[in-house]
Amino acid sequence: MNARTLKIALAASVALNLFAVAAGATLLVGRAGVERRIESQHRSPRTHPFMTVVEGLDPEVRDQVREALRASARAARPDFEETRSKRRQATALVRSADFDPAEVSALLEQSRAAELRGRARIEADAVALLATLEPDDRAALSEILTRRGRTVVRDKGERKARDPGRSGG
């Protein structure tokens, strides 16, 4: 090989290596971004795990809060069980040969109604519990009124532009 061919081969090798490094870096950055988005979709919208907040309370208040929340959850359990049952029935009916859109819609409506009853019960019990607490404890436990589940986080500016009558972010 002469010097000119060697220089061309070296330049091609450097270019190929730079391309490979750039492709690898792009893959890693893209993968990390996807993982972050997936994690944020599955994470609770609460800023702290709720039981961590409860653990920070005085022992007397902590026991009172725990027992009240457990009692509320036990009272609402039949509503949430009905929710799941109606959804399972609707899903089974959709998969069956006896598919009836009106019946599926009715089952889904019953499921939503049961879920709303359960949520209303838990929220009413939470408000009653909060009414018995001191202002500092009430502020710390205010997170029990946040909704769980997937939420879409939007830019605050976009929300204000889209809904000018709504305040805050």
How do the pLDDT tens digits run along the chain, 169 residues long?
788 899 999 999 999 999 999 999 998 888 888 888 777 666 555 455 666 777 778 888 888 888 888 899 999 999 999 999 999 999 999 999 989 999 999 999 999 999 999 999 999 998 998 899 888 888 888 877 776 543 333 334 444 444 444 444 4
* d(C-alpha 53, C-alpha 61), whole Å: 12
**Domain-embedded: residue 36:** yes
| Burial class (CB within 10 angstroms; exposed 0-12, middle 13-18, buried 19+) of 144 | buried
Number of separate domains in the chain: 2
Same domain, 66 and 137: yes
**Domain-embedded: residue 157:** no
Same domain, 36 and 56: no
* d(C-alpha 74, C-alpha 101), whole Å: 33
* d(C-alpha 45, C-alpha 51), whole Å: 14
